């Protein structure tokens, strides 16, 4: 099992890095230097997240072996934003940058890790692209039993693109089927897909009889959006939070961290709890209990802990 995991990890890394260094999943925008919301934070060049070596730890390849390579179809060099692996398949988020072309998800069969095979491509909605939120998982609820893929939507064409999140049925990975497209927080109630806020990432989890997803809302301080996806064809928006407002202890005044914005998150079952780990850039991590106990949680997550980075951070 360990050898298998090692091979899959190696292949996943190669797939995600194959088309040169991974570029950040955002189109070029005019930058006035201000950081007003998560969208501005994600695209701001001062964070040195991508596009150069400044601000990065030195690369290492310990315990990683290249076992195969695959040239994906219609991929723009440097535009693989994320990779998710589930069972025998890898899902790679492709974004076309300023060209706004070839956006979507490459589906790769990795059952034979030495001979990966691209078996499908999920086209993104025109004007939209997936970024750092690509995840496949199995859910078993009263409304759906099978494998789903969740992806986020950011826009490369404001007039045509959707925001929010997408859910696909990938029980048969070679024939993905859309269940929900462009669902998210609406700035104008009732406007639907066209007005759903852009999302930087999405993560879903199976909570037993129910299933949920959390999105990074790019467009407002209430940037933790929680959705009930028990019926993936009919998701329900159940809560949104500005964690910095609810739990000001996660801020670090005087260190340039008087405002923080959510970047990414995961949810994992730990013992009897379902725990969300939310990343707030240089602001550190926030750990939340989002266990579905039938009393409104995860609609009312509880902070378990938060962490800071030292100032200055010796690890860069």
CA distance 177 to 123: 11
**How many percent of the chain have pLDDT more than 90?**
41
Question: Reading across the β-sheet that carries 145-152, which strands appear in turn?
Answer: 134-140, 145-152, 165-169, 177-183
Q: What is the pLDDT of residues 60-84, one digit of tens each?
A: 889 999 999 999 998 888 889 899 9
Residue 134 has pLDDT above 80, yes or no: yes
**Contact residues for 146 (Cβ-Cβ < 8 A; gap 6+):** 138, 139, 169, 171
Q: What's the pLDDT at 252?
A: 62
> Cβ distance 23 to 78 under 8 Å?
yes
Is pTM beyond 0.85 here?
A: no
Q: What's the pLDDT at 18?
A: 44
How far, CA to CA in Å, does 77 sit from each of 20, 51, 91, 266, 278?
Answer: 6, 13, 17, 28, 30
Q: What's the pLDDT at 44?
A: 41
**Contact residues for 126 (Cβ-Cβ < 8 A; gap 6+):** 157, 160, 161
> Cβ distance 154 to 129 under 8 Å?
yes
Q: What's the pLDDT at 292?
A: 87
- Structural domains present in the chain: 2-55+74-307 (2.120.10)
Residue 22 has pLDDT above 90, yes or no: no
> Cβ distance 109 to 91 under 8 Å?
no
Residue 292: strand, helix, or coil: coil
Element (DSSP H or E) covering residue 117: strand 117-123
Residue 184 structure tokens: 């998210």
As to burial, measured by CB atoms within 10 angstroms (0-12 exposed, 13-18 middle, 19+ buried), residue 194 is middle
Residue 192: strand, helix, or coil: helix
Q: What is the pLDDT of residues 219-231, one digit of tens each?
A: 887 888 999 999 9
- Mean pLDDT, all residues of the chain: 79
DSSP characters for 20-57? Answer: SSPPPS-------S---SHHHHHH-GGG--SSSSTT-P
Which segments within 184-284 are labelled E, that is strand?
199-206, 211-217, 224-228, 236-241, 264-270, 273-279
Residues in a beta bridge with 80: 94
Residue 159 has pLDDT above 50, yes or no: yes
CA 68 to chain centre: 26
Give me the residue label for tokens 């930058």.
31
- Where helices occur in the chain by DSSP H, the ranges are 2-17, 38-43, 243-246
CA distance 35 to 254: 17
Residue 255 has pLDDT above 80, yes or no: no
């Amino acid at each position: 099992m360990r050898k298998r995991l090692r091979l899959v990890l190696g292949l996943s890394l190669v797939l995600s890095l194959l088309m040169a260094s991974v570029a950040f999943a955002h189109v070029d925008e005019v930058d006035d230097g201000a950081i007003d919301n998560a969208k501005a934070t994600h695209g701001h060049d001062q964070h040195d997240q991508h596009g150069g070596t400044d601000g990065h730890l030195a690369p290492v390849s310990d315990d990683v072996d290249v076992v195969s390579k695959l040239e994906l179809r219609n991929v723009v060099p440097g535009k693989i934003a994320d990779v998710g692996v589930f069972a025998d398949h890898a899902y790679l988020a492709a974004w076309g940058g300023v060209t706004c072309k070839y956006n979507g998800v490459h589906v790769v069969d990795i059952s034979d890790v030495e001979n990966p095979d691209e078996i499908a491509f999920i086209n993104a909605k025109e004007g939209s692209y997936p970024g750092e939120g690509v995840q496949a998982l199995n859910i078993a609820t009263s409304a759906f039993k099978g494998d789903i893929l969740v992806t986020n939507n950011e826009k490369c064409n404001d007039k045509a693109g959707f925001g929010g999140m997408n859910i696909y049925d990938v029980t048969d990975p070679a024939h993905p089927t859309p269940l929900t497209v462009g669902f998210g927080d609406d700035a104008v109630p009732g406007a639907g897909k066209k007005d759903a806020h852009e999302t930087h990432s999405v993560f879903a989890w199976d909570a037993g009889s129910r299933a949920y997803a959390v999105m990074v809302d790019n467009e407002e301080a209430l940037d933790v959006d929680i959705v009930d996806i028990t019926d993936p064809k009919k998701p329900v928006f159940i809560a949104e939070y500005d964690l910095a407002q609810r739990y000001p202890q996660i801020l670090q005044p005087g260190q340039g961290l008087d405002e923080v914005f959510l970047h990414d998150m995961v949810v994992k079952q730990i013992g009897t709890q379902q725990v969300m780990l939310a990343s707030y850039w240089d602001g550190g991590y926030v750990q939340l209990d989002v266990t579905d106990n039938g009393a409104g949680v995860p609609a009312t997550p509880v902070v378990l802990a938060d962490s800071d980075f030292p100032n200055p951070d010796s690890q860069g």
